[in-house]
Amino acid sequence: MTIPFPVPDQSILARRDEIIAGLAMLLPPEGLIISEDERRAFETDALTAYRHVPLAVALPRTTEEVAAVLRYCHEHGVKVVARGAGTSLSGGAIPQTDAIVLGLSKLNRILDINFPGRTVRVQAGVTNLSITEAVSAEGFFYAPDPSSQLACTIGGNIGMNSGGAHCLKYGVTTNNVLGVRLVQMDGTILDIGGEALDAPGLDLLGLIVGSEGQLGIVTEAVVRILRMAEDARPVLFGFETSEEAAACVAAVIGAGIIPVAMEFMDKEAIAICEAFAKAGYPLDAGAMLIIEVEGSSVEMDAQLKRIVEIARQHNVQVVRESKSAMETALIWKGRKSAFGATGRIADYICMDGTVPTGQLTYVLKRTGEICASYGLRVANVFHAGDGNMHPLIMYNVNDPEDARKAEEAGMDLLKLCVEVGGCLTGEHGVGIEKRDLMRFQFNPQDLNQQMRVRAVFDPQWLLNPAKVFPLDGRDAA
Amino acid sequence: MTHDGNIMQPATEAEACDIIAEARAAKRTLGIEGGGTRAGLGRPISCDGVLSTRKLTGVTLYEPAELVIAARAGTPLSVIEETLAEKGQMLPFEPADYRALYGTQGEPTIGAVAACNISGPRRIQTGAARDSLIGVRLVNGRGEAIKSGGRVMKNVTGLDLVKLTCGAHGTLGLLTEVTFKLLPKPPAEASLVLDGLDDAQAIRAMSLALSSPFEVSGAAHLPMGSNGSGAVTVLRLERDAESLAYRVGRLAELLAEVGLARRIEVDESRAQWRDIAQAGPLAKAHGPAIWRLSLPAHNAARCMADISASLGARYFYDWAGGLVWLAVMPSDDAGALRVRHATAEAGGYATLMRAPDELRAHVDVFPPLGAALMKITAGIKSSFDPDAILNPGRMYAGV
C-alpha cells in the first residue's frame, strides 16, 4: 500500500498524557477512549488497507462538548479526525497517530420531525436509514440512500455529500439538507441555514456539504423529507452485452424518461450478487439494468411500456418485473449488497469515478482491459443514469504485489474517468484514496483556490489534514 | 477584447484574466455586468470600470442524452431555453425573469442566473439554480482562471466552489462558463385553483398538496387584493397527459377538505406561473419597495399577519408559503426593522429586492450576518479577491 501519511508530529506524541488529561477535564469518563485495545477499533474505516491508531478517541454527547474538545485541540495544536460510522470507502475517517478521533456516535437523537414543513432535525450521529424509519409510517422518506445506509450517519453523509441509487431523480445529500450546526476548530458554534429554503449570504451550506470534515464538525442537521411515491417497481433488463445496456440507458434518458433509478451490473457483478442474494438475476446475461419506476400502477405500466420498447430496440434478452413487495426488496438487496457480496469472495477496492454517460461503453471496455493487464478480476456495478462508476477490483490483501497492482489499476481507472470528461469521485469522497490524484483533475490554481478557502476555516490545518489535498504544495496556496 | 468607454468586453477567458490582473495591479475596481436586467439587485456600488460578459457567448456543450448543457456566461437565457426546447428539455429550476420587477430592458444572461442563484416556482420540486449548477469556470480577483465541478452530475471531488460562487453576485469572480444539469420538459401542464382561502387555510392546502405523492411543481397563494381580485391558491402539476389527468383528479380529491378546486388548462396555467415567477402581482406598480422573504412555510401566515398589521403591506406567497414577495412604501427604512424582526422570529430571512439606490445604500439589502459568519464571508471574499476589486460591497460592506 503506497499512499503516504504525514510524518507524525513527535511533540504531540510526547505530550499524549498531558493532552489526554486535558480532554478528560472536558468529557465524562465514558466519553474518552484511551486504552490501546479500544483505540484500535478506530484505526481504520471501510478502506481497511490503511490503519493508524489515534492518540485518543473523544465521544462527546452534545454540541457544547464538541466545541470544548475542538477549542482545546485548537489551543494545543492537536489534529482532529471526525468520524461517523466509519463506513468511508475513501479513507475519510482513517486517523493519524498524532490526531484524536472525534466520534459522533453518541449524538444519535432525532430532535424534531415537522411533517407539515417536511423537515427533520437530527443530530449528526443519527444513521441515514433511521431518518426514513422515523417518518415512513406517515408515508415519507429521506431520499439519499447510499448502500451503507443501515450504518452510515447523516454527519458522514454531509461530510462526503453522499449519493445513492435514487439520486438521478432526488439528488444527493447537498440537495436534501437545509441547514447544519457547525462547530469551528476554535470552538465557535454556527448555525448555517435552517428550515427555510434560502440561507443568507454566500452558500456556506453548499460549501460545507462534501468538505470531508475539513472545515468544521457538523453536530446537527435539518434535512428535507419527501412523500413516498404511491408505489415503486424495479424491473430487471438482461442484455447480451454491456454496450447494449449502456446504449439503452442513454436512449431512455434521451426519450425524456427519468426513472427513479437505473442501476447497471456486468456479468461478474450479476454472478456475485446473485450467489449472495438469490434475487433471480439473469445469470446468462452479459449486463443487467435495474430500472425502477414510480407512481400509480397505471402510471408505472405506461412508463414501463415505453422503457421496454426502448430496451427491445437495444436487443434486450430478459425483462422481469417485480410482482411483489418481497421481490422488490430482494432485487434491491442484491444490488445494495454488491460490495459485501464481493467481499465474501475476494478483497476488493471500489473505485467511484463519474463519466459522461455517453462514454460508458468505452469506459467499461477500457476498465476490463486495464484490470486484465494487471491480471486482476473486476466487477462493475454502478449508477448508470448519472455515470457514477463503481468498478470493484478484486485482489488478495495478503499478497503485497497483488495489492500494489490493484491500487495501480484503480488509479489508472480514475485517470481514465478524468480523461473522458468525468471526475475522480462521484459520491465516496477524495479521502486519502484519491488525494494524490487531485492534480489530474485540477491545475495548481484550482487547487490553491480550494486550499485558500479551506484555510479560512482552519488556518492551522488541524481538521482531517491528511485528506483531500496533496501533501506537498499546501504552503504555496 | 473591446473597450467601450469604461466598459471592458473580453471575448475569451484569457482576456478576462488579463483585464482583471491589470485592474488589480492598478487597484481599479470593476463592476460585473451581464444583460443588465438585474442591475438593481444588491447594494449600490460604484466602480472604476465595468466588466461585461457581452462577448462571452455561445453554448459550448449540449448533450441531451446526458441531461447537461454548458455555455459561456454572457449567453442570453433565451438562447439556452430555445436550444433546450428543441430537444424537449428545460432548466429544472425555472429561472425567473426580473425585467418587470426592475423595469429594465435587455436580455438576462445564463451567467447572471448562476451568479444570482435565480430560481422560480419549481424550486419546491426540483431545487434552486444552485442545485442544478454542476460546473463553473471563473476568473478570480487575482486574474486566475479557476474551474470547479464539471459536466457530470455526480461529483464530490474537492471543495464545492460551484455552490459558493452560485449566489455570490459576482463578488468572488467573473463567471466565464457555467454548466447545468437538465430535465425533460413535461409535455403537459395544468393547475388547480382554490378560491377564497385565507392565508392559514391556503398554507395548509399547499402543505397537503406537497405532502401528497403527486409531485406538485408549483404552489402559490395570492391573498385577496394582491392580484386585483379575490384570493386564489394555485397548485401546478406537470406530467404527460395521461398521468396529469389522473393526478389532477386525485389532488382535487385530497384538497376537498379545504375547498372545491377548479382546473385551469395549460395556457392559463403557464401565464399564471410566469406572472408568479416574476413577482408580477406586485412588480408592475413601480412605487413600492419590494422584499423577498424566505422562511419556513408553517410560520409564514403568522409572520405576514404580524407584518401587515403594522405596515399595511401587499404580499403573496410562492413555494407553498416558503417564499413571500412583499411590497411596502419606500419611506424611511422601507419597513426593514419590522420585516426583519418578524421574519427572524419566524426562522427566516428577508432580502430587499427592489428599492431606490439611496435606500439600498443605508438599509441592508441582504440579510445581516452575525459576527462569526461575517468573518468567514470576508475571509472567503479575500481568498478569491484579495484586493476587493470585483463588485466590491455588492453583498455586504467590503464583500
Residues B97-117: tens digit of each pLDDT? 999 999 999 999 999 999 999
Work out the mean pLDDT of chain A and round it to a whole number. Answer: 95
Q: Residues B262, B349: one domain?
A: no
> Which positions 244-303 of B are in contact with A (Cβ < 8 Å)?
246, 294-298
Q: What is the domain-level CATH number for residue A409?
A: 3.30.70.2740
pLDDT at A161: 97
Q: What is the domain-level CATH number for residue B85?
A: 3.30.465.10
Q: Name, in order, each residue with C-beta under 8 angstroms of A66's C-beta and a sequence gap of 6 or more.
A: A60, A102, A104, A107, A183, A217, A219
Please check whether residue A56 lies inside any domain of the structure.
yes
Q: Residues B314, B346: one domain?
A: yes
Please check whether residue A74 lies inside any domain of the structure.
yes
Q: Residues A37, A85: one domain?
A: yes
Please indicate whether, in this complex, the C-beta atoms of A116 and B212 are within 8 angstroms of each other: no
8 Å CB contact between B142 and B24: yes
For residue A358, which residues of chain B lie inside 8 Å, CB to CB? 63, 65-66
The answer, yes or no, to whether residue B1 has pLDDT greater than 60, is: no
Q: Which of B237, B252, B277 delimits the end of a domain? A: B277
CA distance, residue B9 to nearest chain A CA (Å): 24
Range of the domain at B353: 280-362
For residue A204, which residues of chain B lie inside 8 Å, CB to CB? 164, 373, 376-377
Q: What is the domain-level CATH number for residue A141?
A: 3.30.465.10
Question: Which among B160, B213, B319 is the nearest to A229, CB-wise?
Answer: B213
Q: Which of A204, A227, A250 delimits the end of a domain? A: A227
CB pairs A-B closer than 8 Å: 240
ipTM: 0.97
Q: Name, in order, each residue with C-beta under 8 angstroms of A30's C-beta and a sequence gap of 6 or more.
A: A59
**Separation of alpha carbons B310 and A21, rounded Å:** 57
Q: What is the domain-level CATH number for residue A61?
A: 3.30.43.10
pLDDT tens figures, B171-198 = 999 999 999 999 999 999 999 999 999 9
pLDDT at A167: 87
For residue A192, which residues of chain B lie inside 8 Å, CB to CB? 373
Q: Residues B123, B268: one domain?
A: no
Q: What is the domain-level CATH number for residue A247?
A: 3.30.70.2190
Q: Residues A319, A354: one domain?
A: no
Q: How far is CA B249 from CA A27, B22, B239, in A?
A: 58, 62, 13
Please check whether residue A464 lies inside any domain of the structure.
no
pLDDT tens figures, A391-439 = 999 999 899 999 999 999 999 999 999 999 999 999 999 999 999 999 9
Work out the mean pLDDT of chain B and round it to a whole number. Answer: 95
The three cell numbers of residue B305 are 399577519
Question: Which among A117, A196, A202 is the nearest to B380, CB-wise?
Answer: A202
Please check whether residue A55 lies inside any domain of the structure.
yes
Q: Residues B222, B261: one domain?
A: yes
Q: Residues A271, A318: one domain?
A: yes
pLDDT at B4: 59
Please indicate whether, in this complex, the C-beta atoms of B379 and A456 are within 8 angstroms of each other: yes
Q: What is the domain-level CATH number for residue B263?
A: 3.30.70.2190
CA distance, residue B4 to nearest chain A CA (Å): 30
**Separation of alpha carbons A305 and A311, rounded Å:** 10
Q: Name, in order, each residue with C-beta under 8 angstroms of A235's C-beta and a sequence gap of 6 or more.
A: A290, A291, A292, A293, A304, A307, A308, A319, A320, A321, A322
pLDDT at A131: 98
Q: Which of A288, A307, A338 delimits the end of a domain? A: A338
The answer, yes or no, to whether residue B227 has pLDDT greater than 80, is: no
Q: Residues B73, B205: one domain?
A: no
pLDDT tens figures, B293-334 = 999 999 999 999 999 988 878 999 999 999 999 999 888 899
From A162, which residue of chain B is nearest by alpha-carbon distance? B156
Question: Any CB–CB contact under 8 A between B188 and chain A?
Answer: no
Q: Name, in order, each residue with C-beta under 8 angstroms of B167's C-beta and a sequence gap of 6 or more.
A: A202, A203, B115, B116, B117, B129, B130
Question: Which among B156, B211, B373 is the nearest to A160, CB-wise?
Answer: B156
8 Å CB contact between B208 and B218: no
* Ramachandran assignment for B133, one of left (phi > 0), alpha (psi -120 to 50 degrees), beta (any other): beta
Please indicate whether, in this complex, the C-beta atoms of A430 and B166 are within 8 angstroms of each other: no
Q: Name, in order, each residue with C-beta under 8 angstroms of B17's C-beta and a sequence gap of 6 or more.
A: B139, B143, B144, B145
Q: Residues A408, A308: one domain?
A: no
**Separation of alpha carbons B64 and B183, rounded Å:** 9
> Which residues, listed in sequence order, are joined to residue B352 by a DSSP beta bridge?
B291
The torsion angle over the Cα atoms of residues A23, A24, A25 and A28, rounded to 10 degrees, is 120
CA distance, residue A167 to nearest chain B CA (Å): 9
Q: Name, in order, each residue with C-beta under 8 angstroms of A170's C-beta and a sequence gap of 6 or more.
A: A143, A144, A176, A226, A260
Q: Which of A183, A200, A227 delimits the end of a domain? A: A227
Question: Any CB–CB contact under 8 A between B161 and chain A?
Answer: yes
CA distance, residue B125 to nearest chain A CA (Å): 9
> Which positions 34-93 of B are in contact with A (Cβ < 8 Å)?
63-68, 88-89
> Which positions 5-24 of B are in contact with A (Cβ < 8 Å)?
none
Question: Which among A139, A195, A438 is the nearest to B347, CB-wise?
Answer: A195
pLDDT at A166: 86
Buried b / exposed e across B180-192, counting CB within 10 Å, b at 16+?
Answer: bbbbbbbebbbbb
Q: Residues A176, A222: one domain?
A: yes
Sort strands A99-103 and A79-83 into parallel, antiparallel or unpaired: parallel
From B368, which residue of chain A is nearest by alpha-carbon distance? A200
**Among B170, B107, B98, residue whose Cα is nearest residue B354:** B98
Please indicate whether, in this complex, the C-beta atoms of A202 and B157 are within 8 angstroms of each other: no
Please check whether residue A443 lies inside any domain of the structure.
no
For residue A425, which residues of chain B lie inside 8 Å, CB to CB? 155-157
Q: Residues A241, A327: one domain?
A: yes
Backbone phi and psi for residue A366, each to the nearest 5 degrees, phi listed first? -65, -35
8 Å CB contact between B216 and B237: yes
**Separation of alpha carbons A401 and A375, rounded Å:** 11
pLDDT at B301: 97
Q: Residues A262, A315: one domain?
A: yes
Q: What is the domain-level CATH number for residue B326?
A: 3.30.70.100
Number of domains observed in the structure of chain B = 3
Write a three-state SS string for chain A: CCCCCCCCCHHHHHCHHHHHHHHHCCCCHHHEECCHHHHHCCCCCCCCCCCCCCCEEECCCCHHHHHHHHHHHHHHCCEEEEECCCCCCCCCCCCCCCEEEEECCCCCCEEEEECCCCEEEEECCCEHHHHHHHHHHHCEECCCCCCCCCCCEHHHHHHHCCCCCCHHHHCCHHHCEEEEEEECCCCCEEEEECCCCCCCCCCHHHHHCCCCCCCCEEEEEEEECEECCCCEEEEEEEECCHHHHHHHHHHHHHCCCCCCEEEEEEHHHHHHHHHHHCCCCCCCCCEEEEEEEECCHHHHHHHHHHHHHHHHHCCCCEEEECCCHHHHHHHHHHHHCHHHHHHHHCEEEECCCECCHHHHHHHHHHHHHHHHHCCCEEEEEEEHHHCECCEEEEECCCCHHHHHHHHHHHHHHHHHHHHCCCECCCCCCCCCCCHHHHHHHCCHHHHHHHHHHHHHHCCCCCECCCCCCCCCCCCCC
Q: Residues B8, B88: one domain?
A: yes
Please indicate whether, in this complex, the C-beta atoms of B159 and A454 are within 8 angstroms of each other: yes
**Separation of alpha carbons B45 and B391, rounded Å:** 7
Q: Residues B234, B293: one domain?
A: no
Question: Any CB–CB contact under 8 A between B163 and chain A?
Answer: yes
Range of the domain at A399: 346-429
Q: Residues B105, B180: one domain?
A: yes
Please indicate whether, in this complex, the C-beta atoms of B65 and A357 are within 8 angstroms of each other: yes
Q: What is the DSSP string of B124-154?
A: HHH--HHHHEEEEEEEETTS-EEEEE-SSS-
Question: Which among A229, A450, A457 is the nearest to B158, CB-wise?
Answer: A450
Q: Residues A208, A255: one domain?
A: no
CA distance, residue B161 to nearest chain A CA (Å): 7
User: Which letter does DSSP use for residue B296 in this model?
Assistant: -
Q: Residues B206, B263: one domain?
A: yes
Q: Residues B15, B75: one domain?
A: yes
> Which residue stretches of chain A have pLDDT < 50?
none
Q: Name, in order, each residue with C-beta under 8 angstroms of B107's C-beta and a sequence gap of 6 or more.
A: B35, B37, B76, B77, B78
**Separation of alpha carbons A159 and A217, rounded Å:** 9
Please indicate whether, in this complex, the C-beta atoms of A198 and B349 are within 8 angstroms of each other: yes
From A116, which residue of chain B is nearest by alpha-carbon distance? B207
For residue B16, which residues of chain A lie inside 8 Å, CB to CB? none
CA distance, residue A353 to nearest chain B CA (Å): 8
**Among B151, B153, B124, residue whose Cα is nearest residue B137:** B151
pLDDT at B3: 58
Q: Residues B163, B44: one domain?
A: yes
pLDDT tens figures, A29-57 = 999 999 999 999 999 999 988 999 999 99
The answer, yes or no, to whether residue B5 has pLDDT greater than 70, is: no
Q: Residues A16, A74: one domain?
A: yes
**Separation of alpha carbons A136 and A120, rounded Å:** 12
Q: Residues A222, A115: one domain?
A: yes
For residue B298, which residues of chain A lie inside 8 Å, CB to CB? 114, 116-117
Mutant choice from A71, A192, A197 vs B, greatest count of B C-beta within 10 A: A197
Question: Which among A202, A229, A427 is the nearest to B164, CB-wise?
Answer: A202
Number of domains observed in the structure of chain A = 4
Please check whether residue A65 lies inside any domain of the structure.
yes
pTM (2 d.p.): 0.97
Please check whether residue A90 lies inside any domain of the structure.
yes
The answer, yes or no, to whether residue B2 has pLDDT greater than 80, is: no
SS3 B20: helix
Q: Residues B151, B216: one domain?
A: no
Q: How far is CA B191 from CA A395, B176, B217, B219, B269, in A?
A: 57, 38, 10, 9, 6
pLDDT tens figures, B57-96 = 999 999 999 999 999 999 999 999 999 999 999 999 999 9
